[in-house]
A and B are shown apart, each in its own frame.
Chain A
């Protein structure tokens, strides 16, 4: 039974670690399906984390924090859109630029406003999203197998976690069952055809990047006012890139995106658990292997060993009407 308890606790932390990945990967899904590559997911997440930590501290309301995070993240999205849709600039360059601006600006402003070396002050109480105990959790505790799973994995998460997993069917429905989603995907595959049908390619892509900004806002907020209680320098720590890897690993499809994020979250949780423990016959497994695993898996996938990952056809190409 001890083994099962450990498994449940790793699973619980895997779910919690995969939430920011899930929001961010879904953000990338909308943007890239519309033909706008987004390397700037990392920066948007970081900027949102900073904004929501500041707003949550000042207003003492986690919801105001979320609002601020979403707002700032959308502003970053609009800059990305302005550069890569309106001015037909290189989408990758624009994303790289926004990542740097977010990385630097959060610390510069944080230091100027709070003087704590780029950290924001701790938020507490109403300023944070705290775990929600689902009804019946106490009663379920004694039930074998399902009980611990319900108490530690399903229950006891904060509201953003539930929103994240709720976003998966919503994203699927929007992308594959609505007119907006059809047009969004069309604009990423064949913008010329969409233009011929009398729909503005630019406005369609702008809406896609705004949705991406909206979702990154949740991811950043989760980092700074749900998972921890303050913003710290570079707290996204490459999660935006892992989300990007998850998106490719999932071949740009919503449900596989969730599974890929859970897998990468599980790897992260497992690495934390394995730290300093030794495995029979092998000895101590270096943590770095687990840290590198999401990237290695994605490269193996890209090499074509686990099926082919085909990107949206018009991805990364600015649309020029005259051509």
Chain B
């Protein structure tokens, strides 16, 4: 008898199995650290110290967390509709253009809280626009969204480099980036929030976009589980043929799901562009779009799971920077390895342990 159809309680399916997969991923990461001649436990200690040990470390960790919440939500929304959006990276990159344009246009005239809604809208609209063509191609022409979003990541990167080098560059400067935004175009840091916990974030760029990210988590939860559109998206994700038979408009649902996904990815730029750098730079996304894939898989596409997974990756990113400083033989690229292993075990091999768990569970239930 196969074990695939045996029902398991939710705490096993959504708690125990993901946790076991995660532990496997970390076990193999530890093996890599051990293989290059370092002590994995000592490395783990540096990692935790470097990401949670001081106020500024926590500030940086939460800064990364914010970016990953946006991209994780982006991947998750598309995933619920059965679409695998690999293009969050490119959508966030182009979204930066919208966020930067709003800031550049308004920062001379108004305070930041007037600019903010325009920056949010700009980032979301530009991000969504970058998802529109892949969405249309998927819905109307049946070309796989995975392939087209990969292509659009590269096209987006070429476009942004062109714009920054030829259009936005400050005359007389070498770096391909826009001018620095005035405070009216920036998102202020959350020093007061850190202050509540008696922490000082120092130079860390933890900013208001964190709160925007939390609001978005709530809105995504509302959308997916409390609206008709969300219901239609989930139906489409589970069984496209059943959804179409039940009257779900396929083309419309696919395109809207991808636009929301692209918009959420674009909003990641609020954190990096308006919040941290105060200017639009080449490659500012720095892989956050791809981390979103890992975050969404680990968080089981649920906003609460995504917040936890994003925080974990925030710890990895910030702690990894510190770790490479303390242990020079371990470079920052170790994070990329861990990220890959998490995607492998939590995503591609998610069913690997299930038969074993089912067998153990049945023994317990029988006894």
Residue positions of A touching B, CB distance < 8 A: 37, 39, 79, 82-84, 87-94, 96-105, 107-109, 111-113, 115, 117-118, 233, 238, 241, 244-245, 248, 286, 288-289, 291-292, 295-296, 298-299, 302-304, 309, 311, 316, 322
In the complex, how many angstroms separate the beta carbon of A56 from the nearest chain B beta carbon?
A: 21
Q: Is the CB of B84 within 8 A of A98?
A: no
Q: What's the Cα separation between A241 and B2 when bound, in Å? A: 37
Known: A94-B347, A309-B143. A298 touches B151 (CB 8 A): yes
Q: Are A100 and B336 in contact (CB under 8 A)?
A: yes
Out of A96, A295, A303, name the residue touching B141 (CB < 8 Å): A303
A118–B331 alpha-carbon span in the complex (Å) = 9
| B283 CB to nearest A CB, Å | 12
B238, chain A: closest CB distance, angstroms: 15
The reply to whether B330 and A108 form a contact with Cβ atoms under 8 Å apart is yes
Name the residue on A nearest B36 (C-beta): A112
A248 CA / B162 CA spacing, docked (Å): 27
15 contacts between A and B (CB under 8 A): A87-B351, A87-B352, A89-B349, A97-B343, A100-B290, A100-B337, A101-B340, A103-B333, A107-B333, A111-B330, A118-B333, A244-B150, A299-B151, A302-B148, A303-B143
Task: Decide if B200 is an interface residue (CB 8 Å cutoff).
Answer: no
A residues less than 8 Å from B9 (CB atoms): none
Q: Which residues of A contact B349 (CB under 8 A)?
A: 82-83, 87, 89, 94
Query: Most chain-B CB neighbours within 10 Å: which of A100, A118, A292, A302?
Result: A100
Contact A292 B158 (CB under 8 A): yes
Bound-state CA distance A199–B337 (Å) is: 37
1/0 per position for B107-143, CB-CB distance to A under 8 A? 0000000000000000000000000010001000101
- Assembly CA distance A141 to B355 (angstroms): 68
The answer on a CB contact under 8 Å between A89 and B340 is no
> Which B residues lie within 8 Å of A88 (CB)?
351
Closest chain A CB from B35 CB (angstroms): 8
Query: B348 touching A292 by the CB < 8 A rule?
Result: no
Instruction: Say if the beta carbon of B19 comes within 8 Å of chain A.
Output: no
Per the bound structure, the CA–CA distance linking A102 and B344 in Å amounts to 12
Residue B329 contacts which of A82, A111, A296, A322 (CB distance < 8 angstroms)? A111
Closest residue of B by beta carbon distance from A94: B348
CB of A83 within 8 A of CB of B348, answer yes
B124 vs chain A, min Cβ distance (A): 23
Contact A241/B150 with A108-B333, A286-B166 known, Cβ cut-off 8 Å:
yes
B-side interface residues toward A, CB under 8 Å? 2, 32, 36-37, 84, 86, 133, 137, 141, 143-144, 146-148, 150-152, 154-155, 158-159, 161-162, 166, 290, 293, 297, 329-331, 333-341, 343-344, 347-352
Among candidates A83, A108, A233, residue contacting B334 with C-beta atoms closer than 8 Å:
A108
Partner of B137, one of A100, A102, A299, A316: A299
List of A residues within 8 angstroms of B343 by Cβ: 93, 96-97, 100
Q: How far is the CB of B120 from chain A (nearest CB, A)?
A: 28
B348, A89: Cβ atoms closer than 8 Å: yes
Q: A105, B337: Cβ atoms under 8 Å?
A: yes
Q: Is the CB of A103 within 8 A of B161?
A: no
A172 to B298, CA, bound (A): 41
* Contact between B330 and A97, CB atoms less than 8 A apart: no
Known: A108-B331, A244-B150. A291 touches B36 (CB 8 A): no
C-alpha spacing A83/B150, complex, angstroms: 22
Chain A residues with Cβ below 8 Å from B331 are: 107-108, 111, 117-118
CB distance from A87 to the nearest CB of B (A): 5
Residues in B with CB closer than 8 Å to A288 are 158-159, 161-162
Q: Is the CB–CB distance between A104 and B336 below 8 Å?
A: yes
Question: How far, in whole Å, are A108 and B297 apart by their CA atoms in the complex?
Answer: 25
Whether the Cβ atoms of B137 and A291 lie closer than 8 Å is: no
Cβ 8 A contact of B290, one of A96, A118, A289, A304 = A96
Bound CA span A96–B350, Å: 15
Contact B154 A295 (CB under 8 A): yes
Question: Once the chains bind, are B141 and A302 in contact (CB under 8 Å)?
Answer: yes
Residues of chain B contacted by A117 (CB below 8 angstroms) = 331
Q: How far is the CB of B30 from chain A (nearest CB, A)?
A: 13
A291 to B160, CA, bound (A): 12
Q: How far is the CA of A296 from the CA of B162 in the complex (A)?
A: 16
Considering the complex of A and B, which 3 residue pairs feature the smallest CB-CB distances, nearest first?
A100-B340, A104-B336, A94-B348
Q: How far is the CA of A81 from the CA of B37 in the complex (A)?
A: 30
Residue numbers in B under 8 Å from A286 (CB-CB): 162, 166
**Complex CA distance for A83 and B280, rounded to whole angstroms:** 39
CB pair B151–A295 under 8 Å, yes or no, is: yes
B341: chain A residues within 8 A (beta carbon): 97, 101
User: Contact check: which of B147, B334, B348 meets A93 at CB < 8 Å?
Assistant: B348
